[in-house]
């Protein structure tokens, strides 16, 4: 067993960390967040040039042959700087769907330009009534000639406003919560009938409500199998969960570093507040939480490509529960130990806290994944 | 021992209900029910209605113009007001500086300031904390130097809640830099319109503006505005903080908060069924409700001891700690309940009259901002760590 990074992986890690350190100061991030787009095209071009957009795809798919470990390395560094560029929806989700289920033609038309930095993606799967159940799909796709007609509403679609292609889950057969009968479609974001309401999110990203009004797509828009899209989509969401866990680990480390620095320098009662044992112990608990989060993320990163779906799901859910718990503790503690400064917009502390909070919610909160994990664990 | 209210208490409850029904402006009530931000005028309209009835300063004794209520009456009043979605009373005048003035002030000060507080004609704010002096308040450095019959004040205060709406500020200032930290402090009343005062907003994590920095640049304050003796302001400060503790548990608000979480959980769906039918989520709500009940009965025990003439016991000190933790837990559960629709950021919707359409369900858009904002309750008014230090020292003798 070897849990250390290879030389190539170390190089990537150093590269992404350097970018975040040198080009993603908190004030720079604030400026990027305030733009209409909410991310920087110059940065995106740089990501493409440095190979980060293709890092985790096979060479056959035009990538550099890395995998989940490379994705985690990149996401962790992005987390430490609260990077806003839409790597998760574009590369991990959209790219992931194409790599896992796309035809050669789809890969050529979409994946290759994505890796080159020319196309961005979004994944539309949230429905108001569905909460975190990916099988609860009310958006429909009806056969129409050789193609399909998609209708319905998806919510909280990250990066929809910048996406060239929106991957949408739609019901092609069965009842509203049946596992079979869900199909994934690649829809041109500018297709007739696609309309959006765009908005910023609590953590300064961009999302949209997307309505599909009789959107006509060809047979070639189907990604993976007709009626068999749920398994494909779940697999990609599990991979996205692990990537996001790595981002959270980066957030927690940065937050712990900032808090440690603060309690060493902020003086009250004539001493640095870090001299008070209650804060020392809380800081230790923060470190322990971050360690556990890192360990669970590593475990999940290494198991996420396991051919056994149950193993993969358990790994993703286990990591997500730990991240939710640790992220909440580290976030709340950082705010508390910063005193009044912690609840202001001015310091980065509250922004890390907000991102960690949204990560806890995204793809299912602690409760959801605890019960998914319990189901898998007790079944075995 | 008896849990039931007397006939008189029940009659009083009906009287309060009828009053709130008649006097609480409907738009204000609606804002509170929906968790929106309130404007200065919203607070003022409600507080002035209370003031006209003589109920705004409901904790004051009769001889200073209070209603002279029993502790049971106060309890009933607070609960009815919270149940009927009345805004919380801004404490700076009625619960903080007012009692300081009638306890330590001169007759002239009482005549000058108390009517404005009783009637809510004057908005007060609190100038205690400074950038370098938070938990360690006695290290404060804002200077007041005597010049004839004025003090000249220089320095800055921070975390000043609603100071941008205030007419007056009560400040702790250092009048003697050479004595022990707690001895050279004085309690000054300062008109916010005095030249040399600048108020600068601090933006909170949820995007809202509720606190400020206040700068004093050669601000001339008449010596007549000194409350108590020069150099003895720490006595006033401590008296005020002790007064602040009671009622800070926010039990009535938390009871309403638990109801709100239940309502959200009834409206949200999980696998085609209301979230409230999910066993683990129900249990979380039940656990919270039990915590609120424990807090409520702790507060009732303290009130009952006070009614019997006793001093409030050590329980009072941890009302703040548990009260703030419970308020925070409520926001955590609300956030969990709304799921993905906690994510859209629509700050305008926190204000009434915003004509933006909510992105998710009506109950969802306040969940995240509240969760972020309510982290403050374990920090302000003396952080929970500081409260625990006080209990361990004063109560447990450690
Ligand atoms: C089942 C068992 C088996 C053991 N086996 C062995 C053995 O084989 N050989 C051997 O030599 N010893 C053994 N020990 C002893 C063990 O190492 C001591 O019990 C331990 O170091 C704690 O010391 P103490 O019991 O004197 O508690 P104390 O040191 O008196 O501590 C009491 C409490 O105060 C806390 N405390 C103390 N100092 C601080 C501080 N600075 N800050 C915060 N909190 C503090 C402690 O955490 C503890 O909660 C054993 C103990 C147990 C219970
Ligand atoms: C929303 C809000 C509104 C406020 N409104 C007002 C107002 O209107 N007027 C006013 O004067 N002030 C106000 N305050 C200030 C408030 O009282 C202070 O923020 C509070 O006392 C903490 O001080 P600090 O922020 O400087 O934190 P610090 O004192 O720097 O504390 C930082 C951390 O260290 C911990 N700590 C400090 N000392 C110790 C110790 N001895 N032992 C253990 N832990 C310790 C604290 O608990 C905290 O976790 C407000 C604050 C907030 C956040």
Cβ atoms of A318 and A366 within 8 Å: the answer is no
CA–CA dist B5, A350 (Å, integer)? 45
Closest chain A C-alpha to B267 CA, distance in angstroms:
10
Task: Tell me the pLDDT band of B302, cut-offs 50, 70 and 90.
Answer: confident
Q: For residue B41, how many other CB atoms are within 10 A of its CB? A: 11
| Integer angstrom CA distances of residue A229 from A36, A304, A335, A379 | 33, 19, 42, 24
| Mean pLDDT calculated for residue range B157-167 | 97
Looking at every residue in chain B, the average pLDDT score rounds to: 93
CB of B133 sitting under 6 A from ligand 2: no
Give the pLDDT score at A228: 97
pLDDT of B303 over the 90 cut: no
How is residue A133 written in tokens?
């159940």
Q: Which of A136, A339, A344 lies closest to B203 in CB terms?
A: A344
Which residue is closest in CA terms to ligand 2's atom 24?
Answer: B134
Q: Which residues of chain B neighbour A129 with C-beta distances below 8 Å?
A: 269, 272
Give the pLDDT score at B244: 67
CB of B376 sitting under 6 A from ligand 2: yes
Q: Which residues of chain A neighbour B390 with C-beta distances below 8 Å?
A: none
The sign one gets for the Cα dihedral A69, A74, A79, A84 is negative
CB of A175 sitting under 6 A from ligand 2: no
Give the pLDDT score at B245: 66
Cβ atoms of B62 and B79 within 8 Å: the answer is no
Containing H/E element for A26? Answer: helix A26-34
For A96, counting Cβ atoms within 10 Å of its Cβ (0-12 exposed, 13-18 middle, 19+ buried), the class is buried
Give the pLDDT score at B314: 63
Give the pLDDT score at B71: 84
Give the pLDDT score at B306: 77
Question: For chain A, which residues score pLDDT lower than 70?
Answer: 380
Task: Tell me the pLDDT band of B72, cut-offs 50, 70 and 90.
Answer: confident
Q: Which residues of chain B neighbour A279 with C-beta distances below 8 Å?
A: 385
Longest dimension (CA), chain A: 78
Which residue is closest in CA terms to ligand 2's atom 16?
Answer: B380
Q: Count of residues for chain A?
A: 380
CB of A103 sitting under 6 A from ligand 2: no
CA–CA dist B224, A291 (Å, integer)? 59
Which of A248-252, B227-231, B298-302 bottoms out in mean pLDDT, i.e. has the lowest?
Answer: B298-302
CB of B134 sitting under 6 A from ligand 2: yes
Segment 266-295 of chain A within 8 Å of chain B by CB: 267-270, 273, 276, 278-279
Interface test with chain B among A277, A345, A353, A372, by most B beta carbons within 10 Å: A345
> Chain B residue closest to A202 (CA)?
B345
B134–A339 C-beta distance less than 8 A: yes
A128–B361 C-beta distance less than 8 A: yes
For A147, counting Cβ atoms within 10 Å of its Cβ (0-12 exposed, 13-18 middle, 19+ buried), the class is middle
DSSP-assigned letters across all residues of B269-317: EETTEEGGG-HHHHHHHHHHHHHHHHHHHHHHHHHHHHHTTPPP-THHH
How is residue B51 written in tokens?
């003031």
Report pLDDT digits (tens) over B211-221. 999 999 999 99
Q: Which of A270, A345, A367 lies closest to B281 in CB terms?
A: A367
**Percent of chain B that is helix, strand, coil (3-state, to 5):** 55, 15, 30
- Given the residues B78, B210, B244, B336, select the one marked as catalytic: B244
Report pLDDT digits (tens) over A42-66. 999 999 999 999 999 999 999 999 9
DSSP letter assigned to residue B113: H
CA of A305 to the centre of ligand 2 (A): 48
Report pLDDT digits (tens) over A175-230. 999 999 999 999 999 999 999 999 999 999 999 999 999 999 999 999 999 999 99
B272–A131 C-beta distance less than 8 A: no
Give the pLDDT score at A70: 98
Give the pLDDT score at B312: 66
Task: Tell me the pLDDT band of B21, cut-offs 50, 70 and 90.
Answer: very high
CA dihedral of A68, A70, A73, A78, whole degrees rounded to 10: -90
Q: Which residues of chain B neighbour A275 with C-beta distances below 8 Å?
A: none
Closest chain A C-alpha to B377 CA, distance in angstroms:
10
Region for residue A104 given its phi and psi (left: phi exceeds 0; alpha: psi -120 to 50; beta: otherwise):
alpha
B369–A131 C-beta distance less than 8 A: no
* B244 given a catalytic annotation: yes
DSSP-assigned letters across all residues of A27-76: HHHHHHHHSSSSS-HHHHHHHHHTTTTTTTS-TTTTS-S--HHHHHHHHH
Radius of gyration of chain A (CA): 21
B272–A278 C-beta distance less than 8 A: no
| Mean pLDDT calculated for residue range B186-204 | 98
Find tokens 């042959």 and name the residue. Answer: A65
> Chain A residue closest to B159 (CA)?
A340
Find tokens 């620095």 and name the residue. Answer: A261
Give the pLDDT score at B354: 72
Give the pLDDT score at B316: 73
Q: Which of A156, A346, A357 lies closest to B371 in CB terms?
A: A357
CA–CA dist A302, A69 (Å, integer)? 7
Which of A18-22, A84-88, B308-312, B336-340 bottoms out in mean pLDDT, i.e. has the lowest?
Answer: B308-312
Give the pLDDT score at A86: 98
Task: Tell me the pLDDT band of B96, cut-offs 50, 70 and 90.
Answer: very high
CA of B228 to the centre of ligand 2 (A): 26
| Paired sense of beta strands A194-200 and A206-217, if any | antiparallel
Nearest to A229 by CA among A331, A115, A152, A124: A124
Find tokens 């009806």 and name the residue. Answer: A142
Cβ atoms of B284 and B360 within 8 Å: the answer is no
């Amino acid at each position: 067993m070897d849990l250390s990074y290879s030389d190539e992986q170390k190089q990537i890690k150093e590269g992404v960390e350097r970018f975040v350190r040198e080009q993603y100061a908190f004030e720079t991030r604030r400026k990027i967040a305030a733009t209409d787009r909410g991310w920087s095209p110059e940065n995106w071009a740089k990501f493409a040039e440095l190979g980060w957009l293709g890092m985790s795809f096979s060479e056959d798919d035009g990538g550099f042959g890395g995998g989940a470990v490379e994705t985690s390395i990149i996401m962790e560094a992005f987390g430490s700087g609260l990077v806003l560029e839409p790597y998760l929806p574009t590369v991990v989700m959209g790219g992931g769907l194409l790599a896992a289920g796309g035809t050669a033609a789809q890969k050529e038309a979409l994946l290759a330009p994505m890796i080159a930095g020319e196309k961005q993606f979004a994944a539309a799967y949230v429905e108001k009534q569905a909460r975190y159940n990916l099988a609860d799909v009310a958006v429909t796709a009806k056969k129409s000639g050789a193609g399909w007609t998609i209708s319905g509403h998806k919510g909280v679609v990250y990066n929809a406003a910048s996406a060239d292609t929106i991957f949408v889950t739609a019901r092609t057969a069965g009842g509203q919560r049946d596992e079979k009968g869900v199909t994934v479609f690649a829809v041109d974001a500018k297709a007739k009938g696609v309309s959006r309401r765009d908005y910023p999110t609590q953590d300064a990203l961009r999302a949209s409500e997307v309505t599909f009004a009789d959107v006509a797509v060809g047979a070639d828009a189907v990604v993976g199998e007709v009626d068999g899209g749920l398994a494909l989509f779940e697999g990609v969401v599990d991979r996205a969960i692990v990537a996001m866990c790595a981002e959270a680990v980066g957030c927690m480390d940065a937050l712990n570093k900032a808090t440690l620095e603060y309690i060493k320098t902020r003086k009250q009662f004539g001493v640095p507040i870090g001299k008070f044992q209650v804060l020392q112990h809380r800081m230790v608990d923060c470190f322990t939480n971050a360690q556990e989060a890192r360990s669970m993320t590593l475990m999940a990163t290494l198991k996420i490509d396991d051919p056994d779906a149950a193993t993969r799901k358990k790994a993703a859910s286990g990591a997500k529960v730990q991240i939710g718990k640790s992220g909440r503790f580290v976030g709340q503690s950082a705010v508390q130990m910063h005193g009044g400064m912690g609840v202001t917009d001015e310091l980065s502390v509250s922004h890390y806290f907000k991102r960690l909070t949204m990560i806890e919610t995204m793809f299912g909160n602690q409760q959801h994944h605890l019960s998914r994990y319990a189901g898998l664990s007790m079944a075995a | 021992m008896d849990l039931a209210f007397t006939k008189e208490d029940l009659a009083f409850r009906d009287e309060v209900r009828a009053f709130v029904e008649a006097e609480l402006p409907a738009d204000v009530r609606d804002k509170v029910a929906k968790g929106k931000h309130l404007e200065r005028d919203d607070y003022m309209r409600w507080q002035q209605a209370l003031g006209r009835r003589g109920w705004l300063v409901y904790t004051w004794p009769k001889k200073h113009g209070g209603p002279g209520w029993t502790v049971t009456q106060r309890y009933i009043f607070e609960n009815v007001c919270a149940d009927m979605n009345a805004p919380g009373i801004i404490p700076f005048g009625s619960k903080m500086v007012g009692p300081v003035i009638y306890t330590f002030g001169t007759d002239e000060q009482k005549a000058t300031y108390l009517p404005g507080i009783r009637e809510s004609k004057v908005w007060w704010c609190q100038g205690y904390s400074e950038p370098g002096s938070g938990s360690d308040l006695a290290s404060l450095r804002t200077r007041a130097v005597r010049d004839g019959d004025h003090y000249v004040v220089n320095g800055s205060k921070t975390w000043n809640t609603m100071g941008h709406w205030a007419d007056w500020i009560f400040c702790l200032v250092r009048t003697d830099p050479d004595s022990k930290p707690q001895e050279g402090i004085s309690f000054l009343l300062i008109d916010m319109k005095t030249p040399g005062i600048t108020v600068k907003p601090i933006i909170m994590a949820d995007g809202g503006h509720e606190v400020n920095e206040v700068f004093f640049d050669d601000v001339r304050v008449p010596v007549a505005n000194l409350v108590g003796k020069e150099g003895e302001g720490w006595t006033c400060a401590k008296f005020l903080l002790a007064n602040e503790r009671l009622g800070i548990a926010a039990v009535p608000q938390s009871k309403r908060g638990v109801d709100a979480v239940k309502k959200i959980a009834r409206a949200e769906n999980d696998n085609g069924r209301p979230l409230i039918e999910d066993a683990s989520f129900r249990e979380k709500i039940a656990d919270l409700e039990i915590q609120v009940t424990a807090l409520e009965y702790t507060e009732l025990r303290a009130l009952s001891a006070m009614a019997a003439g006793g001093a409030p016991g050590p329980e009072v000190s941890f009302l703040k700690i548990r009260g703030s933790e419970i308020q925070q837990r409520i926001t955590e559960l609300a956030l969990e309940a709304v799921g993905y629709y906690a994510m859209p950021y629509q700050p305008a919707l926190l204000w009434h009259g915003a004509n933006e359409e909510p992105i998710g369900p009506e109950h969802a858009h306040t969940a995240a901002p509240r969760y972020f904002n309510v982290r403050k309750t374990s920090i302000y008014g003396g952080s929970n760590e500081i409260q625990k230090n006080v209990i361990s020292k004063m109560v447990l003798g450690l």
